Amino acid sequence: MSEMIIRGLHASISGREILKGGNLTVKQGEVHALMGPNGTGKSTLAYTLMGHPSYQVTNGEVMFKGRNILELKPDERSRLGIFLAFQYPVAISGVSVANFLRTAINSRRKAIESADKGVSVPEFRKMLKERMDLLKMDYSFASRYLNEGFSGGEKKRAEILQMAVLKPEIAILDETDSGLDIDALRIVSDGVNTLRGPEMGVLVITHYQRILNYIKPEHVHIMLDGRIVESGDAELAMNLEEHGYEWVREKYESVPA
C-alpha cells in the first residue's frame, strides 16, 4: 500500500513564501479534499508536489515509496505513480488523444517493468476502449487532437481519461477558482467516483464546497495562508458548507507565523 506523506512543506515563488508548513498523508484507496479560500496556496501545493520549476522548496519533505519525491524530476514523479490533472491543460495540435495516451503508457511501462517494448496497438486499443466505456465516453473522442478546440468540459474529460489509462497510485486534481462550470465539475466528479477504489489515492483541491455534493471524501483538510490548519472527516466539509471559511479565519488568522 503506497502513501504520499507531506511533512512541513515550505515553498516560495519569486522569493515570496507561499507554503508555510503542515502535514498531510494520502494513502492509496483514500479520497481527500483540500479546501481553502482563494490565494491560500492550494495550487502552489499541487505544482510543488509535481515539481513545477517556478516553485522553490525551502523546507520539508514529501515521501512516496521510500523516496523524497522533491528530489525527483516531474517525469520521474509521474513514473513513480503520481499524477496531476491540470486546471488549464495545453493543446497539442497533430497529436491525437489516443497517441498521446499510448506514448504516456509506454513511457511508464518502460520505466516500471524495464520492458524494451511498449504496449502493442491492439492491446492498447482494447484497453483504451475498456477505459472509455467505463467513463461512458464516445470513442471518437480519442482521435481528436489533444485539447485542440476542446471546451472546458472536454479538457476535463481528457484529463480524467488520462488518469483512467495511467492508473496512478496518487492522483492530484486541482479544480480551483474560476472557469469551472457545473458541467466540468460533474465530469470530474463522475470520473473520480468511477475510478476511485483501493488502488488509487486522490487529493481533490477545490475552493468550492459544492464539489462535495458530488465527491464524498473520507478526509477533508483546510488550508489557510499556506498552512494546512484543520484536518477531519466529511463533517468538516459540512461545517464549511454551512458556515463558510469565516470561523477558520477567526480561529487561525490571529496566530503569528
Binding site for ligand ADP (CB under 6 A): 13-14, 16, 18, 36, 38-44, 176-177
C-beta atoms surrounding 208 within 10 Å: 15
Using CB under 5 A, pick the residue from 43, 48, 147, 206 that binds Mg ion.
43
- Which one of Mg ion, ligand ADP, none is in contact with 14 (Cβ closer than 5 to 8 A by kind)? ligand ADP
Give least dist CB 50 to ligand ADP, A.
Answer: 13
44 touches Mg ion by CB under 5 A: no
* DSSP 8-class letter at 255: S
Q: Give the cell for residue 28.
A: 492509496
**Between 18 and 195, CB nearer to ligand ADP:** 18
Q: Minimal CA–CA distance to 45: which of 30, 34, 37?
A: 34
Q: Give the cell for residue 18.
A: 507561499
Give least dist CB 176 to Mg ion, A.
Answer: 3
- Which one of ligand ADP, Mg ion, none is in contact with 89 (Cβ closer than 5 to 8 A by kind)? none
C-beta atoms surrounding 9 within 10 Å: 26
Q: Rounded to an integer, what distance in angstroms lies between the CA atom of residue 59 and that of residue 19?
A: 10
Give least dist CB 9 to ligand ADP, A.
Answer: 13
C-beta atoms surrounding 245 within 10 Å: 17
Q: Rounded to an integer, what distance in angstroms lies between the CA atom of residue 18 and that of residue 186?
A: 30
Give least dist CB 112 to ligand ADP, A.
Answer: 31
**Between 9 and 101, CB nearer to ligand ADP:** 9
Q: Are strands 67-68 and 55-64 parallel, antiparallel or unpaired?
A: antiparallel
Using CB under 5 A, pick the residue from 12, 28, 176, 189 that binds Mg ion.
176
**Between 29 and 37, CB nearer to Mg ion:** 37
Which spans of this chain sit near Mg ion (rule: CB under 5 A)? 42-43, 176
